[in-house]
Amino acid sequence: MIINTQAEHVPAGTQQESAHSTSVKAAWGSFIGTTIEWYDYFIYGTAAAIVFPKVFFSNLSPEMATLMSMISFSVAFAVRPIGGLVIGHFGDRMGRKKLLVFTLMLMGLCTAGIGFLPTYEQAGFWAPALLILLRIIQGFALGGEWGGAALMSVEHAPPGRRGLWGATMQMGVPAGLLVSAGAFALVSSLPDEQFFGWAWRLPFIASLLLLVIGMYIRLQVSEPPAFEKVSKSGQTESMPLLSVLKFEKKKTVIMAFLQSAANVGYFLITVYSLTYITGTLGLPRSVATTALLVGASVDLLMQPIFGMLSDRYGRKKVYGFGALFFAFYAFPFFALLNTGDPVWITLALTLGLGIGHASTGSLHGVVYAEQYPTKYRFSGASAAYQLAGIVSSAPTPIIAAWLVATTGNSMAVSWFVVASAAITLLCLFSIKETYKVDINE
């Protein structure tokens, strides 16, 4: 009897090439998803400040129109934790891929849908109502997108490369900023009649292109081996969130505060400093936006470097370095801004983003994924990350503005950054180092 073993034997090199190809596709798919997430964040924020008061709330006074526009922007932050919990639950039960395809499609279609909405003059009350509805759905999808994208990157990563692969996903944050800024810069150069008439819609509709690319990549990626192992062994959790609350409650609270330095530093630089430069210092908006674009570019380039460093020296050392940098940089940052010189202002934002945020933000995907076991990793990582957004992201610009208004100078804001760095370091000492841990076990 002759047995043909040729078809059954797959060369080891071919298997390794296939696994590497899958992991690369997973990383790029996560990068595209995160880019869309932050692309949406920045174009909506820009449009909410410039366009929406005149297009969707034109029946109100200018002050009330701006307020309602900002409320429509903020509503997504309230919905994101719900999305993280719900989508994380099904992601732990059904798989990462199915839920990521769902969130990417939902998110991209909602973003593009905003570009097709009628104005208040055309549809009356229905125009702002549909805008807020799409924003709510968008926030729900965004809440689950981050956790799934992080897990797809980290769980597919080659041995010893989880930090780099996780950083690839996090690079979508500065990439989204750069793409959105470029998109709005193109349409903003048009006359007001064209800009407010139809051109503002183009950046929203353009998200369909990112959606097609992201869907093409994600549909080709298989489930991570870690989840497949749990699924085949029948160890998937029926109520993963309850397991997180039962076994990981303390850790989840710690992880919710871990990002304090990174979030306070990032939103201080990308949101509040724009107000400080243009309002308090009275400089042209172009000075702030140019400095932000340069800083975001350096942030994008530096993130994979810090991801690789974490693979070699550990997550806690690299993340701790970033927190300490923010603490020591808090006072020089405002000193550079207060010079009023565009060159020094650009340097201030570039150092903050390229070193402080790159060394911390680049590790969020891998740090949160490695802290939870596979069977409820999606739920745990999503819950902790979205809670961190409520704790330290959303309040930062408000607290910074209040401190300057109350004290009359920026020194109080610097102490606020130092305090947030201290909180991060305390949390960092409370968690285990995980860069050498086999997360498939």
In 3D space, the residue among 306, 301, 260 whose CA is nearest the CA of residue 417 turns out to be 260
Is 50 exceeded by the pLDDT of residue 412? Answer: yes
Is 60 exceeded by the pLDDT of residue 6? Answer: no
Mean pLDDT of 199-226: 86
Q: 107-121, 173-187, 314-328: lowest mean pLDDT where? A: 173-187
Is residue 155 within 8 A of residue 225, CB to CB? The reply is yes
CATH topology of domain 238-441: Growth Hormone; Chain: A; (1.20.1250)
Between residues 370 and 274, the one the model is more confident about: 370
Where do the structural domains in the chain lie, given as residue ranges?
21-236, 238-441
Other beta carbons within 10 Å of 277: 24
From the number of C-beta atoms within 10 Å of its C-beta (0-12, 13-18, 19+), residue 82 rates as middle
Is 50 exceeded by the pLDDT of residue 140? Answer: yes
Distance of CA 219 to the CA centre of its chain: 22
Whether the pTM exceeds 0.75: the reply is yes
Is 50 exceeded by the pLDDT of residue 273? Answer: yes
Cite the DSSP H helix spans in 207-314: 207-218, 225-232, 240-247, 249-258, 260-267, 273-275, 285-313
* Mean of per-residue pLDDT scores for the chain: 87
pLDDT in tens, 304-325: 999 999 999 999 999 999 999 9
Q: What is the model's pLDDT at position 5?
A: 42
pLDDT in tens, 234-272: 777 888 888 898 899 999 999 999 999 999 999 888 878
Is 90 exceeded by the pLDDT of residue 344? Answer: yes
Q: What is the model's pLDDT at position 4?
A: 46
Q: What is the model's pLDDT at position 441?
A: 63
What's the CATH code, domain 21-236?
A: 1.20.1250.20
Confidence bin at 168 (pLDDT 50/70/90): very high
pLDDT in tens, 22-65: 788 888 888 887 888 788 877 887 788 778 888 999 998 887 88
Domains 21-236 and 238-441 share a fold: yes
Q: What is the model's pLDDT at position 369?
A: 93
